Structure 1
Amino acid sequence: MTQQLSPTERSTIRRGSARARTERSDLHEVLDASLICHLGVLVDGAPRVLPTGYGRIGDTLYVHGSTGARSLREAAEVCVTVTNVDGIVYARSAFHFSVNYRSAVIHGRARQVTDPDERWQALQVITEHLAPGSWEHARQPNKKELAATAVLALDLTEAAVKIRSGGPVDEDEDVEAGKAWAGVLPLETRWGAPEPADDLAADFEVPAHVRDRRYSA
């Protein structure tokens, strides 16, 4: 059975509410489709927004960073946003230009992950979200690296999802005038050819989990 989002006062979409999505699966799809989120925190009473990698296990989102980062050490009430841009919408009027997108905004109280097993699992899922197949291929974190890494967990209970698709919404008189092109310029993201490190042995083949990702959808 599909679960629905349960909007709160601050996660209820009011502007452009027709674009709101109510299924929890929509939230998961938006998060799984992107690589970077923006973590909003308060530092000395002022907002600070940090781009960072993330990973998801069920309805828990994990982010990580340096233990030396005050913004992560003191993170409490946070806001995480993710946006996937699918195209630019060209309208006949500059006022109606828009963007086709899939976005999510998550509110909640961040939790410092201290349990060793959960930290390990969180770092694995963050790595696999960014670079599938790499956790087993590369050397895994040692004690020194783990000590230098902060991990935050955020429950996905309080979240909003908004999606726009389709063409422009122009005024009737602009359509009738027919003086400007209107439509959508889709944005497609693709992987390029792998570029080996300068100090990599010349006969080291590109592993399958890197090579095959280039051709994945």
Structure 2
Amino acid sequence: MTNGPAPSLKTERTTLRRRPNKGVYDRDSIYAILDEAFVCHVGFVQEGQPFVIPTGYGRDGDTLYLHGSSASRMMRALAEEIPICVTVTLVDALVLARSVFNHSVNHRSVVVLGKAALVEGEEKMHGLTVLTNHIVPGRWDDVRPPTDLEMKATSLLKMRIDEASAKIRSGPPADDDEDYALPYWGGIVPVRTVTEPAVDDGRLLAGVELPSYLVDYSRIRPIEG
């Protein structure tokens, strides 16, 4: 009898074959990457044709919620609980080596494998709350809730996070030993996702101020523990 989900999400299918030293499989590391990003790409096959579609998402514990229009190809296909692959990537730096071959990118990426199921009823409202607050924490309680018509036009899928892996590359370039004697620059160019101050739409009612959660809004998540 288990006391909860397994701490490792490593399976035969998620095990990194190339550069296995960059593979990370613990939930905490994988969830930290998922929580910092806010756009994922969903891969699936329909009638023999592969598709990869970007969409918004949110995480609640060990469940991933995926958002889309009720009329979209992806949501209709995934509602049939077909195998899917969800990927997320954060780029941290360009890695410039002394040879073209050894150039790279410092990044943190996640691959989640499984099946998604359509969410209905009260859980659908909960999932949309999770997704909205994932992108802008605190936003759901600060806006008009969706109407019945808007809820019908929106589909929400959920996916258990039971099989996943992260791949993390950090540090300087790894040049060949003999290339360090060459007169070329080597190093990294850091890359960050930066948000600028919020700009109102020019139609605010008198007295409406910028919400506190938008002051210094950032996608970078604090490290816990």
SS at match of 2:93: strand
Counterparts of residues 61-140 of structure 1 (less than 5 Å): 61-75=64-78, 76-114=82-120, 116-140=121-145
Count how many residue pairs are aligned between Structure 1 and Structure 2.
215
Counterparts of residues 1-217 of structure 1 (less than 5 Å): 4-75=7-78, 76-114=82-120, 116-175=121-180, 177-201=181-205, 204-213=208-217
Percent identity, aligned pairs only, is 41
Greater shift in the superposed pair: 140-149 or 79-88: 140-149
TM-score, normalized by length of structure 2?
0.89
How far residue 7 of structure 1 moved from its aligned partner, in angstroms, is 2.4
Q: Distance in 1 between matches of 2:10 and 2:219?
A: 38
Consecutive unaligned residues in structure 2, runs of 5 or more? none
How far residue 202 of structure 1 moved from its aligned partner, in angstroms, is 6.3
Greater shift in the superposed pair: 206-215 or 163-172: 206-215
Task: Tell whether the 8 Å contact from 1:191 to 1:213 is kept in structure 2 after alignment.
Answer: yes
Task: Tell whether the 8 Å contact from 1:7 to 1:158 is kept in structure 2 after alignment.
Answer: yes
Q: 1:24 to 1:211 in 2, by over 3 A?
A: same
Q: 1:118 to 1:67 in 2, by over 3 A?
A: same
Greater shift in the superposed pair: 164-173 or 7-16: 7-16
Q: Distance in 2 between matches of 1:215 and 1:157?
A: 25
TM-score, normalized by length of structure 1?
0.92
How far residue 168 of structure 1 moved from its aligned partner, in angstroms, is 0.6
SS at match of 1:151: strand
The AA in structure 1 aligned to 2:88 is V
SS at match of 1:213: coil
Task: Tell whether the 8 Å contact from 1:85 to 1:187 is kept in structure 2 after alignment.
Answer: yes
Consecutive unaligned residues in structure 1, runs of 5 or more? none
